[in-house]
């Protein structure tokens, strides 16, 4: 039996009724936040709250529950599902014809340890059927998610771990469910938000904290040639943490720098 938190109330998942007049149902109008719960803690919670607030402001969604109230509801949902050791958290917000703004918190079990280093890297490929725009909404995690779903299905069919998306200028933007970083000339680079990627939580974590560990990470435009010629490549998201890439087409990558990043910025969360 799975429990969810709907507007502050714990209910069984099967009890949630969908109002077909809601904008989320009709037009995909809404946004969601996904993250990881580990050993009694919502990892990167401040980053998540900042992104929730920014997205709600752009979409003019209000009133939002306060960060503390939201964290309490997340903890209650985790406890109700007996997932204190580890879980994937998903929170969706949408306009509601009755409540003004509704939200739903889900928690599902995860079989892998939090942010564990994997000795085998991922394979990636460029998905050409979804071109990311760079506008006021491109950095948000919106419910209108069909192109990302198609990209992930394509990746599965191609037997690669991630589909890489380009923007309308033909430059590298992001992965279908990750941000991308490339190591060139001993500097880690990730596309700036002006290039159209989702403003990822772990992306922010690396940009804000890598320099304190003596690691250079910066925002920079990334071309297809940069991806092919990179020394190393990594993918990040708030559920998996960091994954190193071993191959893109004929390109093969090392992982020495990736392992250093993981040890400094992700391994502390595995304890």
Q: What is the pLDDT of residues 125-177, one digit of tens each?
A: 999 999 999 999 999 999 999 999 999 999 999 999 999 999 999 999 999 99
The H or E element that residue 131 is part of is strand 122-132
Question: What percent of the chain lies above the pLDDT cut of 70?
Answer: 99
Q: What is the DSSP string of 104-121?
A: EEEEEE-SSPTT---SS-
Sort 46 into a burial class: Cβ within 10 Å, 0-12 / 13-18 / 19+.
exposed
Q: What is the pLDDT of residues 218-264, one digit of tens each?
A: 999 999 999 999 999 999 999 999 999 999 999 999 999 999 999 99
Q: Quick one: pLDDT band at residue 19, thresholds 50, 70, 90?
A: confident
Residue 89 pLDDT greater than 90, yes or no: yes
pLDDT of residue 98: 74
Q: What is the pLDDT of residues 56-80, one digit of tens each?
A: 999 999 889 999 999 999 999 999 9
Q: Quick one: pLDDT band at residue 114, thresholds 50, 70, 90?
A: confident
Return the higher-pLDDT residue of 84 and 189.
189
10 Å Cβ neighbour count for 83?
Answer: 17
């Amino acid at each position: 039996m799975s429990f969810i938190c709907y507007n502050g109330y714990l209910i069984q998942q099967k009890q949630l009724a969908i109002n077909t007049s809601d904008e989320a149902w009709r037009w995909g109008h809404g946004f969601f936040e996904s993250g990881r719960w580990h050993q009694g803690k919502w990892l990167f919670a401040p980053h998540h709250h900042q992104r929730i607030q920014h997205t709600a402001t752009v979409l003019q969604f209000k009133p939002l529950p306060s960060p503390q109230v939201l964290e309490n509801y997340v903890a209650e949902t985790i406890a109700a599902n007996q997932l204190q050791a580890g879980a994937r958290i998903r929170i969706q917000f949408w306009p509601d014809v009755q409540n003004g703004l509704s939200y739903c918190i889900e928690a599902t079990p995860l079989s892998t340890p939090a942010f564990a280093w994997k000795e085998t890297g991922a394979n990636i490929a460029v998905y050409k059927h979804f071109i990311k725009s760079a506008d006021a909404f491109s950095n948000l995690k919106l419910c209108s998610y069909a192109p990302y779903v198609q990209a992930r299905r394509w990746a599965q069919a191609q037997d690669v771990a991630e589909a890489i998306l380009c923007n309308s200028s033909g430059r590298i933007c992001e992965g279908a469910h990750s941000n991308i970083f490339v190591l060139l000339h001993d500097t880690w680079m990730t596309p700036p938000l002006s290039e159209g990627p989702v403003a990822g939580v772990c992306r922010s974590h690396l940009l804000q904290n890598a320099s304190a560990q003596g690691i250079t990470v910066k925002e920079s435009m990334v071309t297809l040639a940069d991806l092919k010629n990179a020394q190393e490549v990594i993918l990040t998201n708030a559920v998996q943490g960091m994954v190193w890439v071993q191959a893109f087409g004929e390109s093969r990558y090392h992982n020495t720098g990736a392992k250093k990043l993981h040890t400094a910025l992700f391994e502390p969360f595995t304890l």
